[in-house]
Homo-oligomer: A and B are copies of this chain.
Amino acid sequence: MKIGVIGATGKAGSKIIFEALDRGHQVTALVRNAKKAKTLFDSKVTIIEKDAFAITKQDLSNLDVVIDAFAVPMGKHLAYQHIDLAVHLIHLLRETSTPRVIFILGAGSLQSDKGLFVEQLKQIPNSQDWIDTPESQAFELDFLRTVKNVNWVGVSPSQSFVDGPKTDYILGQDNVLFNEQQKSEVSTGTMAVAILDELETPTVHQARFTVCNK
């Protein structure tokens, strides 16, 4: 498949690219900083340098899949870019079925046994300094759920999303997942595998799934 990744040099995006290359897919990295991408990836990756909000329909027209792995640092200042970019990409793809577009969301929009996880996060002291990020990503899913004319999928990590190698994994839909050790954690490596598995064998359509390290 021809796979484009936005936010390609980030912790989620880069692992997805390595996994996609391992499986023989053709990868395009859409990045703000081509130099950083060239250092990170070998010459098999096509690099397009542009601001994510400047991406055009034309940039996406040749792809089978676009993965939005764009993320800003946790905080108040740029949190809104998650929802703004999701709408920008969805708008470019309105009334199409290709490319399929995968949005990496936060865990905040998952349901826990105490309600929406983002509401629990708000109870953490000083959460007002960073809560805008999970809130924006939770609203991103609210938006996606209104979208019926684009081939989209959302994916949320578990409560912790850590840099690390791939493991076996558990899949879920809208509830926070825990493994047998009662740990709710997914590694970037596992997230990449779960996404590539879903791309190669589609099972989710216009909905969100979630992944947990087994």
Q: Which residues of A contact B (CB under 8 A)?
A: 53, 80, 83-84, 87-88, 90-91, 94, 135-136, 139, 142-143, 146-147, 149
Contact = CB atoms under 8 A, between A and B. Distances in A.
Contact of A83 (B88, B136, B143, B149): B143
B139 A135 contact: no
A22 B42 CA distance: 64
Given A139-B143, A143-B139, A84 B90 contact: yes
11 contacts: A53-B91, A80-B94, A83-B143, A83-B146, A84-B90, A87-B87, A87-B88, A87-B91, A135-B146, A139-B142, A139-B143
Contact of A87 (B83, B94, B147, B149): B83
Contacts of A136: 146
Contacts of A149: 80
Q: How many copies does the complex hold?
A: 2
A84 B147 CA distance: 11
Residue of A87, A88, A143 with most chain B CB atoms under a 10 A cut-off: A87
A146 to B, nearest CB: 5
A99 to B, nearest CB: 18
A136 B91 CA distance: 13
Contacts of A143: 83, 139, 143
A202 B147 CA distance: 34
A91 B88 contact: yes
A87 B89 CA distance: 11
Contact of A91 (B84, B135, B142, B146): B84
A177 B90 CA distance: 35
Contacts of A87: 83-84, 87-88, 91
Contacts of A53: 91
Contacts of A94: 80, 84
Contacts of A90: 84
Q: Which 4 A-B pairs have the closest CB atoms?
A: A87-B87, A84-B91, A139-B146, A84-B87
B80 A147 contact: yes
Given A84-B91, A136-B146, 8 more contacts: A53-B91, A80-B149, A83-B143, A83-B146, A84-B87, A87-B91, A88-B91, A143-B143
